Amino acid sequence: MKYRLLSSNYKTIMIKLQTLILVGLSLTATHSQAQYNKLHIPDTMSGKTFNLVLKDTFTQFKTGQTTITAGVNSNFWGPTLIFNQGDTVHMNILNKLNDSTTVHWHGFHLPAVMDGGPHQVIPPNTVWRPYWKVQNDAATYWYHPHLHEMTQEQMTKGLGGLIIVRDAVESALALPRTYGIDDIPVVLTSRRYTASNQFVTRNSAYGDYIFTNGTTNAEFTIPKQVVRLRILDAEMERSYNLGFSDNRTFYIISSGGGLFDKPIAVTRLPIHVGERYEILVDCSNDAVGTTFDLNAFNSGQSQSFPGGEPGTGGEFGSLLNNKTFTTLHFTVGSATAKPITTIPTALRTNTYLTAADATVSRTINITNGNPGSGIPFDLDNKPFNLTTINHIVTTGTTEKWTVKNNNVFGHCFHIHDVQFKLVSRSTGAIGAYESGWKDNFFISKNESVSFVARFVDYADETHPFMYHCHFANHEDGGMMGQFVVTGTNGLNKALNQPFLFSVYPNPAKNNLKIALGQNIVAYYVTINNIVGKTVMMLPQPEIDQPIDISNLASGTYFLQVMDKNTQSVSTQKFIKE
């Protein structure tokens, strides 16, 4: 049923896209400080099937020439996806970009083949259909492109979006959760323009203008009550030392992978690239009309703090560096009908991993790239290689990873597949704000940081997960490695053995089914057209479900199945009517 809806949905999305481009024009921002623009709130999508179209777009961000951008169902950035824990979510990703890309589900525990890392390349005009059971706890996650050497460019153009996971524990709490009203997405990033109004996508770590949800000089009318902000640092490199202009106390309720035991009261919160935090801001005692700002108190930060560098131009400078600047201007408005007016005292009971739980230890060294290689940084003196598996992890193991930074720079370490617990920092204590479940952390120069993670399941000897610096320019430059999670017997590839299967009906119109032999497990199904162009990719398809081929043009196609156990590939021809 849900598959049949696909092609008509694409048409609706295309019409919506045109409308959104017009809406984009009305979001036009001037960069004068006096004028505020209404904070853009990305649309939401919920349910179990998500149709996402990635597209090259133009956006009028500045007067004069329009800027070449990209978006997901939109002209810049994408919709906020809302998942319920326990649901199996199905993604229909249509790549209408002129380039290949990937879509990575940052922070999610899911099979590596669905992960959207650099291996799951989606060619132009191809549909990619990953699906997985949502096991993550309620928190804020995100999706973004992860094509090797293209991540900075594709993210800079605007590809990405937030994901909100809801679960029973979070839903039972008296927390603000009316999206766009008292539960506000705040995606922080910045951009730099060329003389012809194009985004600078290379050799530049920092933007000059703040984009909050894609809005410059953003303002929001905040209701007179407790409000939740879901903050993401979607920068290439910059960190934000967040706080409010009136220095009010606010309450951190969630880090990357879930709620804290109880809210943490602070006046400042450092957030680094790729990280998310949910905070509560209490406006219930503010007079209507009160104004205040969410600021980045980045002035006076050390050179090791990304964005603390003093220069205003060049690769590591920016107009925003080492300054305190506003990311979002608030005006207090009247309360909503059923406002939350108190900060909860307890959130959930977490059982965190400790260093003593780990039975395997690994060390990752942040190293300088070889002189003359053009690669500034790498890990363990090895620039990223798509065909090198750097680490093999056995399912069911709890491991302690220590990252050592002997480098002149701070970096942001991120690992796929797991949420971890930080257990030590050589420079001192772990901040309360980073004491929850995380998938990312900042490591300053000459520091060594350890975390503990449990690699529960999803053994897959073929598809690796990534670990890398989340600075897009460092990641593109090779500061990345990969690991596979194997079954308890380790790597054990059987020989390539051809196998038989059939597709039916043949010819087929809308739906196609695959019949496999007894011992064959479909690991990957790819449909190529007559000239060999891949048009559809189905990681580990649910073989009892028909494949929706209604959006394919009539003609001859080749369907290829890879068997999970032997990695053998067999092909069958079919005709689409």
Phi first, then psi: what are they for 75, rounded to 5°? -90, -20
User: Among residues 144 and 348, whose Cβ is nearest to ligand C2O?
Assistant: 144
Q: Find the shortest distance in angstroms from Cβ 371 to Cu ion.
A: 18
224 binds, among ligand C2O, Cu ion, none (CB under 5 to 8 A by kind): none
Minimum Å gap between C-beta 32 and ligand C2O is 33
Partner in contact with 471, chosen from ligand C2O, Cu ion, none, beta carbon below 5 to 8 Å by kind: Cu ion
474 binds, among Cu ion, ligand C2O, none (CB under 5 to 8 A by kind): Cu ion
Distances (CA, A) of 339 to 198, 271, 304, 335, 342: 43, 28, 41, 6, 9
Q: Which of Cu ion, ligand C2O, none has residue 104 at its interface (CB below 5 to 8 Å by kind)?
A: ligand C2O
Instruction: Please say which residue, 425 or 470, places its beta carbon nearer to Cu ion.
Output: 470
Of the candidates 433, 432, 437, 434, which has an alpha carbon nearest to the alpha carbon of residue 421? 437
Residue 411 touches which of Cu ion, ligand C2O, none (Cβ within 5-8 Å per kind): Cu ion
**Neighbour count for residue 423 (Cβ, 10 Å):** 20
Nearest distance, CB of residue 151 and Cu ion, angstroms: 12
Q: CA nearest 142: which of 94, 105, 181?
A: 105
Site residues for ligand C2O per CB under 6 A? 104, 106, 144, 146, 274, 414, 416, 466, 468, 470
Residue nearest to ligand C2O (CB): 106
Q: How far is the CB of 132 from ligand C2O (least distance, A)?
A: 16
Nearer to Cu ion, 111 or 369 (CB): 369
SS3 assignment, position 376: coil
* 61 phi-psi bin (left φ>0, alpha ψ -120 to 50, beta other): alpha
Which residue(s) pair with 365 in the sheet? 404
**CB of 141 vs ligand C2O, minimal distance in Å:** 9
Comparison of 147 and 562: residue with beta carbon closer to ligand C2O: 147
Give the nearer residue to ligand C2O in terms of CB position, either 411 or 576.
Answer: 411
- 166 or 414, CB closer to ligand C2O? 414
Nearest approach in angstroms of CB 438 to ligand C2O is: 13
DSSP string of 402-467? EEEE-SSS-EEEEESS--BEEEEETTBPPPGGGSS-BSEEEE-TTEEEEEEEEE-S--EEEEEEEE
Least separation, in Å, of the C-beta of 572 and ligand C2O?
Answer: 35
The token pair that represents 106 in the structure block: 């940052």
Where along the sequence are the contacts to Cu ion (CB under 5 A)?
411, 469, 471, 474
Q: Please tell me the distance from the alpha carbon of residue 364 to that of residue 385, in angstroms, as a whole number.
A: 16
In the complex, least distance from residue 471 CB atom to Cu ion, rounded to whole angstroms = 4
Binding partner selected for residue 192 from Cu ion, ligand C2O, none, CB under the kind-specific 5 to 8 Å limit: none
168-201 in b/e form (b: 16+ CB < 10 A) is: eebeeeebbbbbeebbbbbbbbbbbbeeebbbeb
8 vs 370, beta carbon nearer Cu ion: 370
What, of Cu ion, ligand C2O, none, does residue 469 touch, CB below 5 to 8 Å by kind?
Answer: Cu ion
185: tokens are 């997405």
Give the span between the Cα atoms of 183 and 138, in whole angstroms: 14
> Which of Cu ion, ligand C2O, none does residue 191 bind (CB under 5 to 8 Å by kind)?
none
Nearest residue (CB) to ligand C2O, 240 versus 330 = 240
Q: Are 268 and 241 in contact (CB under 8 A)?
A: yes
In sequence order, what are the beta bridge partners of 220? 330
